[in-house]
Amino acid sequence: MGQPASCQPIRTPPSTEQNKPRGGFHSASTLMQSLQTEPRSSMKTMRSFFLCALAFLSAAQAGLLDERRRRELAFSPHSSSSSSSFSSSSQRSGEICLNGGTSVPTLISGAHLFCLCADGFEGTHCERVKASHCYEGVGLYYKGTASKTVSGQTCLQWDEETRRQYLHLDINAGKHNYCRNLHYRRRPWCYVWKNLQLVWEYCDMPLCNFKPLPPVASPVPTQPEPVAEMMTCGQRTRRKQLKIVGGTVATVESHPWIAAIFWRTKSREKVFRCGGSLISACWVLTAAHCFPDGNNTKAERFTVILGKNALNESNPTVEQKFRVEKIFIHEGFDNNDGNFNNDIALVKLKTKLGKCAKESDKVRTVCLPPPQQRLQPGFTCDIAGYGKESHALWYRSQYLKEAQVNLLADNVCRQKNYYDNMITDNMFCAARPDWSQDACEGDSGGPLVCEVGSRLFLFGVISWGDGCAKELRPGVYTRVTNYNKWIEEKTHLGSITAGAMFPQK
């Protein structure tokens, strides 16, 4: 940038090389000292000085930015020996930000200021992979180089169609065999050959920063007096009417505790995430895997709607919509073995005028059974949700659906031809004897309720399964009665978590 025509050079004492500003320009303090030696004769002189000073400073900044740009353009991503440094296929010659990163320029000259990195990358030039040895949440943003499966096999390279659809911004445009989670599965995975068939397997890698909790014995709680909202818990206002897979369309009055949890994307689109169960006016119980960002989950991006019959229809006269104040994910949630251990979470609703859910024929709480309470194998229970009607379908059911399943004995579900050792004491299995009805993708977090006496009690949270309504692959549910103490610690609702409404022998 040149000087204004009215500017005259300011003479200053000679300076040493040590205190000379970069770019060959004098500092602002030098200009001020020089100004003090000039006569201040008029406002015109002052105006000319400030114009000159602005010209000097702008030119100096441009010189510094040009020098910085020359240094950064000289950066070569291939000079690093780190195994975590990569160059994106979308990188063009001369680009500074790698792996899909975006260069943010200065407002004055447009020179590069810093890189805004894509998910999974970090560093000055987005050249490093974040936590490449482990994955966070369910690994949706994992960009590391792990390529071994739990069976010890080496992953196959991703095919061209998969690269085009999902991996075009990945390392080398997806031309690699690194583990990724492309279809919202439980953890990163890849394809391998097994018995001459192409199958997918989970990768052998740990969850970041996971520290298992030591088992804590639950004390036997006292039986407090029931509170008012408990008096109607678990009571339907309408019996089942008329697919959850193989099931039937239901009205929300037959499952008035069902909650629909929605997530707002960065583009502000509202997306259905999971089901849940209203256990108190301000609390919804759901599954931990519904929040893949783990402890980084932003509660303000979630909303909960109660009394909803259909995902694509709204009825403000009966539905109750709430923003989320806080989300508690169980500290022991662990998907290291691909089985969602401790898959339970609590969602606290934000109050409106000091109140949350208002009881109606379409909105009502479900009862919690007492701690460690179990039912006999074969007991018939109900599941409900807005999930797929078939594992092969790409879309979810738009309407609330229900089905009946029977509880399976733990030793049956742990047989080798079922789920073997993937079933922990924090889970149980349920299915139909003919495998015709089951929960499916999109039902996660929803309720499994069992009628005891004249009330419905929440015994399970829909968690995971291999396929939907598949023979020898029953649905797996979080065992709610293992978490009464944890629920009480988060909600301070001792009267509800004690299971006081459960019939006494």
Q: How far is CA 479 from CA 258, 370, 372, 428, in A?
A: 18, 12, 9, 6
The pLDDT profile of the chain, 505 residues, written as one tens digit per residue, is 444 444 544 444 444 444 444 444 444 444 444 444 444 444 555 555 555 554 554 445 545 545 545 544 444 333 333 333 333 333 333 468 887 778 888 878 888 878 888 766 777 887 776 656 788 877 888 888 899 999 999 999 999 988 988 888 888 888 999 999 887 777 899 999 988 888 899 999 888 865 544 544 444 444 444 455 667 898 886 544 333 344 445 678 889 999 999 999 888 888 999 999 999 999 999 999 999 998 899 999 999 999 998 888 888 889 999 999 999 999 999 888 888 999 999 999 999 988 999 999 999 999 999 999 999 999 999 998 886 554 343 334 467 888 889 999 999 999 999 999 999 999 999 998 887 665 565 578 999 999 999 899 999 999 988 767 578 889 999 999 999 999 999 999 998 999 989 997 6
**Identity of residue 178:** Y
Give the angle 458-462-466 at the CA atoms, nearest 5°: 150
Please name which of 295, 242, 230, 279 lies closest in space to residue 458, comparing C-alpha atoms: 279
Give the angle 210-213-217 at the CA atoms, nearest 5°: 165
- Establish how many alpha carbons lie within 13 A of residue 455's alpha carbon, considering only the half-sphere containing its beta carbon: 20
| Tokens found for residue 363 | 């909105």
Give the angle 265-289-379 at the CA atoms, nearest 5°: 130
Are the CB atoms for 106 and 65 separated by under 8 Å? yes
Find the catalytic residue in 147, 444, 463, 495: 444
- To which residue do tokens 């071994």 refer? 148
Find the catalytic residue in 170, 334, 343, 438: 343
Residue ranges of domains in the chain, CATH in brackets: 131-202 (2.40.20.10), 253-349 (2.40.10.10), 379-498 (2.40.10.10)
* pTM of this structure: 0.56
Find the catalytic residue in 112, 176, 255, 289: 289
| Active-site residue flag, 444 | yes
262-266: long-range contacts, CB 8 A cutoff, minimum separation 24: 262/302, 262/303, 262/304, 262/305, 263/301, 263/302, 264/301, 264/302, 264/303
| Tokens found for residue 151 | 């069976």
| Active-site residue flag, 391 | no
